[in-house]
Structure 1
Amino acid sequence: MFSELLHTKERQNETYKQLHVVLGQSCSCELQLAGPQYDNLQCISSLYPSVSEELFRCELSDNVFRTQALSPDMTQLKKASVTIDNSLSPGHTLVQICCVDHKGFLYDIMRTLKDCNIQIAYGRFSSVNKGLRELDLFIRQKDGKKIVDPDKRDALCSRLKVEMLHPLRVIITNRGTDTELLVANPVELDGKGRPRVFYDVTLALKTLGICIFSAEIGRHCTSDREWEFYRFLLDEDCRFDMSSMVGRNQIVDKVRRTLMGW
């Protein structure tokens, strides 16, 4: 909502004040509307194919050596369950979801169902119990019918599990001799990106004492969806050894936890 008001003088002045508070009176900045040349930005041309494949793949491997592998204390995430039942309602399919609670839990599920052209008639979710969240949804297809095709049911369950396990992708790679943090998340069909990603990533890096040399935001299209893509060039003058896998995993883990609210 606030980004839509940046063209107003009042909102621009408020933004200037916030920047001066953080950066000091020496800060000099200017706000202007982005032109059409910035539509559908593609900022991934320099990514290695292997990095691009890992960042934007639909399904993620459980291989512990992958840079997006979960830390040991989060293995309970893999216990997420999605079940579908057509016997309880004559006109709707019941989807029951149980998984570890995270920031944007409902957003990720609603976005996924919208992308799959699924309509929601009724929903009920529980309060958090031992870190777990349960959700019941009565749904139907766009044509108003239940989901009876086994392949469609399996595809929907698989898609929901992936979105609950990895709604955001976070990896660290090299850009030449420098270290780069990459974050990606699916874009909604109407073109809207996930809220607060840039804020949460910069907050996590600030908490770790890591300075950002440069930051870029763009869009990338794969065969089945569009992604919002963030790349941060990190200042290596910090307490983490970015040449070691241990140091890099600590950074990735902190950023992911901040994004997910853990």
Structure 2
Amino acid sequence: GTRHHHHHHHHHSVNWDLLRLRLENHCPTIKASISTLSSMNLAAQDDPGGGSSPGFPSSRSPSSRGLGDPSSAGVIEPKPGTLYILTVEVEDRVGLLHDVTQELWACELTVHRAHISTSPADLAVDMFYITDERNELPNEQRVAEISANVRAVLRGKRRSMDASAAALGNVQISPAPHFVSKTRGGNRLLDHSGTALEKVETASAAHYSEATVTVDNLMSKAHTVFQMRTRDRKGLLYDVLRASKDLKVHISYAKVEMRDKGQCELDLFVARCTNINEQRYLCARYKENIERPVSVQIKPSGVDEITTELRVIAPLDIAGFTRPRVLLDVTEALRQLKVMVFKADIVTSDAVGGGGAEEYMFPGMGGATRQEVHRFLLTDEHGQPIASVKDRKLICNRVLGVLLQ
């Protein structure tokens, strides 16, 4: 089960443990990466120390040792949050990126950024910027375990280990140079001048579900209650809490109930609020954050383009945390449709208002200015761009469908 963090929260803070449990019930594979919700420190990491550190003595697990244990003094403790670069080189195939991403989740690694590229010889070179949730890297056993697991995925269904396939499944883990940060907007892999896409096609509105948000000041003497009702989906609680954090709403407690037909009812008991304008504002903001938590856009291919660009945009919360599972869900949708990823990257950008960039700032962004943009250059199975409007629409809808399942 999860280890509950025993630092005492303020009475008005979000119950992260509850959220964590709820998320884990929804998606059992993610125990590890959820711990980033409340406990990840975002301080800039110092130099991660050369990769030569001896790691832990193999006889004991790192968790079994108390902090005050003097015998641990000689051991070089890996620093929590140290960034590593995991590089995978392998023959490209449909679903590869998704399988590797899924495996990294299973290995309890958090992916902060990814650079995906494909060479002309159909060799995929995927670089993942990761931190180890178990905090065991660069210990050799841990490196070996991760490499073995990722290699197994690379081999995929082909049990016939012909030499060439085996040689290509190359996995390496090395400490990131200290100037690499977890979210660096600077190095653009896909070189596009403006942030706004000239013309974009988006997922059909039908995929976003309606939400009603109302205010009740009678139910509780001490609190104002915001009542929200919408279709239950992945990330719903996350979106409500992220919005609350951004709006600086202090939640005393929350009640979540499932209703019939897949509807979910959320009651947030918050600090008393009697100002009508403030109530209206909060209702509107909650509504848009629940209804449109992410934006999926695809660019019609130009005549000379060799790939089709897909973008998935999600706001960062006020502390700079990113939406969980985006890479996992997007690659799952693409795998289902047998779409190949030629190149991909994740960048953090400031949403800029004005001058045609509105496309890029989707409605739910309201006050939040920083967002994470996942960019994928896609081809079909045969390496061609996605030429038909119908297919592009299908991709958008499927991606959004999986994100908000």
Kindly tell me the number of residue pairs found equivalent between the two proteins: 241
Partner in structure 2 of residue 234 of structure 1:
378
Shift of 1:255: 0.8
Letter in 2 for 1:162: E
Distance, in Å, in 1 between the alignment partners of 2:179 and 2:282 is 36
Q: Identify which of 245, 270, 273 aligns with 1:139.
A: 270
Q: Identify which of 324, 349, 353 aligns with 1:220.
A: 349
**1:79-131 C-alpha deviation (Å, 9 max, x unpaired):** x1000122333331110000011101111111110111111112111124202
Gapped runs of 5+ residues in structure 1? 55-65, 141-145
Q: Identify which of 198, 218, 221 aligns with 2:327.
A: 198
Contact 2:341 2:378 in 1 (8 A): yes
Distance, in Å, in 1 between the alignment partners of 2:300 and 2:255 is 44
3-state secondary structure, aligned to 1:125: strand
Taking a change above 3 Å as real, the CA distance of residues 48 and 36 of structure 1, as seen in their structure-2 partners, is same
Distance, in Å, in 2 between the alignment partners of 1:20 and 1:240 is 28
Q: Identify which of 213, 217, 229 aligns with 1:82.
A: 213
3-state secondary structure, aligned to 1:130: helix
Shift of 1:222: 2.5
Taking a change above 3 Å as real, the CA distance of residues 153 and 41 of structure 1, as seen in their structure-2 partners, is same
Shift of 1:202: 0.8
Distance, in Å, in 2 between the alignment partners of 1:11 and 1:251 is 37
Contact 1:213 1:235 in 2 (8 A): yes
Contact 2:151 2:171 in 1 (8 A): no
Partner in structure 2 of residue 258 of structure 1:
402
Larger Rg belongs to: 2
Shift of 1:30: 1.7
Distance, in Å, in 1 between the alignment partners of 2:301 and 2:383 is 20
Contact 1:101 1:128 in 2 (8 A): no
Which is further off, 90-99 or 23-32? 23-32
Shift of 1:49: 4.8
Superposition RMSD in Å? 2.7
Distance, in Å, in 2 between the alignment partners of 1:227 and 1:18 is 32
Q: Identify which of 47, 52, 70 aligns with 2:205.
A: 70
Q: Identify which of 312, 322, 342 aligns with 1:183.
A: 312
Contact 2:204 2:397 in 1 (8 A): no
Partner in structure 2 of residue 28 of structure 1:
170
Contact 1:92 1:138 in 2 (8 A): yes
Contact 1:241 1:247 in 2 (8 A): no
Taking a change above 3 Å as real, the CA distance of residues 239 and 99 of structure 1, as seen in their structure-2 partners, is farther
Letter in 1 for 2:241: M
Distance, in Å, in 1 between the alignment partners of 2:351 and 2:324 is 21
Partner in structure 2 of residue 154 of structure 1:
280
Distance, in Å, in 1 between the alignment partners of 2:266 and 2:279 is 17
Distance, in Å, in 2 between the alignment partners of 1:250 and 1:115 is 33
Shift of 1:41: 2.1
Distance, in Å, in 2 between the alignment partners of 1:232 and 1:135 is 34
Contact 2:300 2:389 in 1 (8 A): no
1:249 is aligned to 2:385: no
Distance, in Å, in 1 between the alignment partners of 2:380 and 2:253 is 50
Contact 2:340 2:383 in 1 (8 A): no
Gapped runs of 5+ residues in structure 2? 1-31, 33-107, 111-130, 156-165, 353-367
**1:57-89 C-alpha deviation (Å, 9 max, x unpaired):** xxxxxxxxx624323xx47x23x1000122333
Taking a change above 3 Å as real, the CA distance of residues 45 and 235 of structure 1, as seen in their structure-2 partners, is closer
Partner in structure 1 of residue 228 of structure 2:
97
1:165 is aligned to 2:291: yes
Letter in 2 for 1:139: V
Taking a change above 3 Å as real, the CA distance of residues 93 and 52 of structure 1, as seen in their structure-2 partners, is farther
Identity %: 29
Shift of 1:160: 1.2
Taking a change above 3 Å as real, the CA distance of residues 148 and 226 of structure 1, as seen in their structure-2 partners, is same
More helix as a share of residues = 1
Which is further off, 45-54 or 180-189? 45-54
Partner in structure 2 of residue 143 of structure 1:
none
